Structure 1
């Protein structure tokens, strides 16, 4: 029986995906897996039993990835689970920005009642005249799960779409409408755009991706949207660009003191992926990631280990999380050979300082299996050894 511990409110439809081999939130059991959303785990003490953490969402800044690897814990996110929700909010934000909807609604809400309300409305509504999205250019920075959906939706709205992504995957490329143009540099993408929207993960390369240097190339009066992560846009630079007219509006899902109380900045309370449908989909994806990993050792959508998948070549499979250093495979193979175990198939992939190895083996007995597990577990560079039996 596998033990699952949840943090935050996880959609019941996701928990319902687990089979009878899984137990949810048994307080007396050591957890094999965490299902989480926004809980901060940086100061959390991981139990040694913890083999997997699944984050129901795309972001994973709340999880200490290196600390997890030191514990032999693989971390997953659920890319694509909330992509449609974010796409729809981006489209809504562009419409709100171009049609002055927020200002118009606020005027109506504050209008004093009276006999001439209709006449005053007709007279003053012209001050809220906006523009249409049809024919406008949008630059989509980052063409992954969300960015590709935004780009395709913009094409459907009749916009001129140009995308920039130096790491565009084949999978994402296949999903893009043929009318989406591809820029070779971020400057080429943004220089003539009426709207610029960013959809990239946050890392060292993308922090401050849109800053003073980039804003100098913006079209005067452009609208900037950030529904990725706080820090992708240099907010101080954005405030200056609004003041000098480079930017007309700035829409973001992430609050920060320096952008508060600015009439040209619209701040959402991090609701990009907050729909009932997205929460359900993310929880369902997370549940299947956990079950797949625990039952087969296969990895997809990990954020601290490479994707590794292979069909079973024999009923018994060893999986190892270990440091990415020389002679690890040699040591592992030697241990197997010393016990008369034959390796039917071996898959090894690395990511940064760590690697993941799967070995399908034959000639395995319970006694020799335990000897191998004990010997490999004593190697300092190996942080997790598991044996999976496949019927």
Structure 2
């Protein structure tokens, strides 16, 4: 029986790790030739990729700390866990909206300073509290408009919750999936451009990955489109917001507040900014959910070759055919690859019982269940096909 060696590069929730059968998986932080890597925030960009490595699974949604393209070229899928921390982030976004609307963060600081710094107490404290509270007067959420950029797992939850709180909700996501569309409240109005969303939203919340197309998405030109006294909430990635533009808009009074999860030297001390220490997924429930999802996806791939929620290869899931041997093949997305692969199988006297192939960008992945003995030389014959990156017999 094959034993898969799994290296953990961060503390992974034991709720997730306990799902791995210890007869099939050897888990540890010091694994010299791992078949799989489980990671959270560790930076893998400078890592020497061991030839033994089959897959990397991140217990979280973002993969900026992983060399995704380099691993794709080696036939190594990278898994993430979209949606596993969605409720935790949703709750933080709603909290951020309330912090901004009612000026709660700075009001709490003011009250604390009255006691801790000025030493006020009793009637004197009461007088100063009443005298100072006017500066923290805010606004209520019902009737305000919220623009949600990115309607993935988190964005959909935020949009639905905001509508339940009485806000008019606008959404923008040109890549909205059918699954998320079904989960989105019909009361959320979908707009056709980012500019329209900015111009019609009192508050903006971002739920997009940091890629070339989203870097600096919130900039001076788009902020200028917002109504006076707008609020920007960023619990996605720091780089999707041009912070200098936001701070300038706060200084002029065009923006009321900026609430974010990505501290910077200038933003953390600004009187109209609430900066949190990257708390988006920092709940016990979210860490457990991410670990469970990452572990299950890694195990399913190692044991059965199935790919779910990979950021660099297509989703390929196929039930195993009894009495067959499974082969998984990564290749460049180019013509006649399927024909060449099936020809090699036929020449080896193997009957194809089940076959699936999907492509994504520059790469494709094939799963095939064959009847007959899969000899060791078959792998070398498949790898000899121009464009094939990696192949393995999945024996468990």
Q: Which residue of 1 aligns with 2:38?
A: 35
Verify: 1:223 aligned to 2:231, yes or no: yes
Alpha-carbon contact 1:223-1:248 (below 8 Å) kept:
yes
**1:356 equivalenced with 2:358 (yes/no):** no
Tell me, in whole angstroms, the C-alpha distance in 2 between the residues paired with 1:163 and 1:279.
Answer: 28
Distance 2:132 2:273 in 1: 23
Matching residue within 347, 351, 358 for 2:356: 347
Q: What's the counterpart of residue 57 of structure 2?
A: 54
Of residues 257, 277, 281, the one that matches 1:273 is 281
Q: Shift in Å at residue 120 of structure 1? A: 2.3
Give the match's secondary structure for 2:238: coil
1:101 and 1:206 map into 2 onto residues whose CA distance is 30
Do residues 143 (structure 1) and 145 (structure 2) align? no
Q: TM-score w.r.t. structure 2 length? A: 0.93
Is 1:83 matched up with 2:89?
A: no
Partner of 1:337: 346
Asked if residue 210 in structure 1 is aligned to residue 218 in structure 2, the reply is: yes
Is this contact kept in 2: 1:48–1:71, CA < 8 A?
no
Counterparts of 2:67 and 2:346, CA distance in 1:
36
What is the TM-score normalised by the length of structure 1?
A: 0.95
- The equivalent residue for 1:5 is 7
Determine the structure 2 residue equivalent to 1:94.
97
78-87 vs 199-208, which deviates more?
199-208
The Cα offsets for residues 282-321 of structure 1, whole Å up to 9 and x where unpaired, read as 0000110011111111111000001111222452111011
Within a 5 Å distance, the mapping from 1:204-353 to structure 2 comes to: 204-314=212-322, 315-353=324-362
Match of 1:69 among 45, 50, 72: 72
- Report the CA distance between 1:212 and its aligned residue: 2.1
Question: How far apart, in 2, do the equivalents of 1:236 and 1:214 lie?
Answer: 13
Give yes or no for the alignment of 1:17 onto 2:19. Answer: yes
Rate the CA distance shift 1:117–1:258 in 2: closer, same or farther, 3 A: closer
| d(CA) in 1 for partners of 2:131, 2:205 | 34
Instruction: Give the Cα separation in 1 of the matches to 2:43 and 2:388.
Output: 26
| Paired residues of 1:46 and 1:71 also in contact (CA < 8 A) | no
Q: 2:392 aligns with which of 379, 386, 390?
A: 386
Please tell me the root mean square deviation across aligned C-alpha atoms, in Å. Answer: 1.6
Aligned-pair CA distance for 1:236: 2.1
Relative to structure 1, is the Cα distance of residues 16 and 106 closer, same or farther in structure 2, using a 3 angstrom cutoff?
same
Aligned equivalents of 1:26, 1:377: Cα separation in 2: 32
Q: 2: distance between equivalents of 1:116 and 1:26?
A: 57
Provide Cα deviations, 1:41-79, integer angstroms capped at 9, x if missing partner. 011011111111000000000111121123321100000
1:103 to partner: Cα distance: 1.5
CA contact (8 A) 1:2 1:22 kept: yes
Say how many residue pairs are matched. 387
Secondary structure of 2:162's aligned partner: helix
Deviations 1:247-301 (A, max 9, x none): 1111111133453422112221211111111001000001100111111111110
Name the CA shift for 1:106/1:175 in 2 (closer, same or farther; >3 Å). Answer: same
Map 1:155-194 onto structure 2 (within 5 A): 155-194=163-202
CA contact 1:3–1:26 (8 Å) conserved in 2: no
Contact 2:8 2:29 in 1 (8 A): no
Q: What residue is the counterpart of 1:369 in the other structure?
A: 375
Unaligned runs of 5+ in 1: none
